[in-house]
């Protein structure tokens, strides 16, 4: 048996999808009232928040410093702060790389290229994770220097990379998947 580890679960995206579905169902049953000419209608903030939250995958990961950073990245996206989301995803992945390189001689003052070199030489992270880290750093730098042009799309891309990173580098979810809000053991069949 493995040891017990504290886990953080965020199933709010599933609840947001249910809420939006119920909201759509209720609105299709009502006849919309006509508005005076020239009146503009804006969606309430809560609806926009539900929409952004519904775009995220559910999250289950080990509690710890990376969890706090990733939660913050997700929260700033849900709040509509897309530049901050890209930055937080970049910060999260850089912090993880620096921490993983430390036992192999990585120092806080090393540039990230040196840190990645240490990680590659010691085969600490998988090649796909290293690719994610490089792409994320490039995108984060683009936004840090004011060159980002598609903040919402790039924030979603950053979060997708961050979730891929989690999937690649944590063992917590290796044998489980979340399907429609339910934690299920993955079924792997051996073929002869």
Q: What does the pLDDT average to over 32-50?
A: 58
* High-pLDDT (> 70) share of the chain, %: 76
Supply the CATH number for residue 150's domain. 1.20.120
Answer for the pair 62, 170: CB distance below 8 angstroms, yes or no: yes
**31 in a domain, yes or no?**
no
**63 in a domain, yes or no?**
yes
Answer for the pair 83, 151: CB distance below 8 angstroms, yes or no: yes
**190 in a domain, yes or no?**
no
**181 in a domain, yes or no?**
no
Q: What is the domain range of residue 164?
A: 10-20+45-170
Q: b or e along 161-180 (b: 16 or more beta carbons within 10 Å of the residue's beta carbon)?
A: bbbebbeebbeebeeeebee
- pTM score, two decimals? 0.77
The pair of three-digit structure tokens given for residue 75, joined into one six-digit string: 């929260």
Q: What is the pLDDT of residues 91-141, one digit of tens each?
A: 999 999 999 999 999 999 999 999 999 999 999 999 999 999 999 999 999
**177 in a domain, yes or no?**
no
**129 in a domain, yes or no?**
yes
**Is a pLDDT exceeding 70 seen at residue 39?**
no
- Structural domain count of the chain: 1
């Amino acid at each position: 048996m493995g040891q017990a580890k504290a886990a953080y679960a965020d199933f709010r995206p599933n609840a947001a999808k249910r809420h939006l579905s119920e909201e759509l169902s209720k609105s299709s049953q009502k006849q919309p009232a006509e508005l005076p000419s020239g009146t503009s209608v804006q969606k309430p903030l809560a609806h926009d928040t539900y929409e952004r939250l519904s775009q995220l995958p559910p999250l289950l990961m080990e509690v710890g410093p990376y969890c706090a950073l990733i939660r913050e990245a997700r929260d700033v996206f849900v709040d509509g702060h897309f530049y901050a989301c890209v930055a937080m995803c970049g910060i999260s992945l850089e912090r993880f790389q620096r921490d993983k390189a430390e036992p192999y001689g990585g120092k806080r003052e090393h540039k990230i290229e040196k840190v990645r070199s240490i990680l590659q030489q010691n085969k600490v992270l998988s090649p796909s994770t290293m690719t994610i880290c490089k792409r994320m750093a490039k995108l984060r730098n683009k936004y840090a220097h004011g060159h980002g042009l598609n903040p919402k799309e790039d924030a979603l891309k950053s979060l997708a990379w961050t979730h891929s990173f989690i999937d690649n580098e944590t063992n917590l979810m290796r044998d489980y998947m979340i399907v429609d809000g339910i934690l299920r053991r993955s079924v792997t069949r051996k073929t002869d």
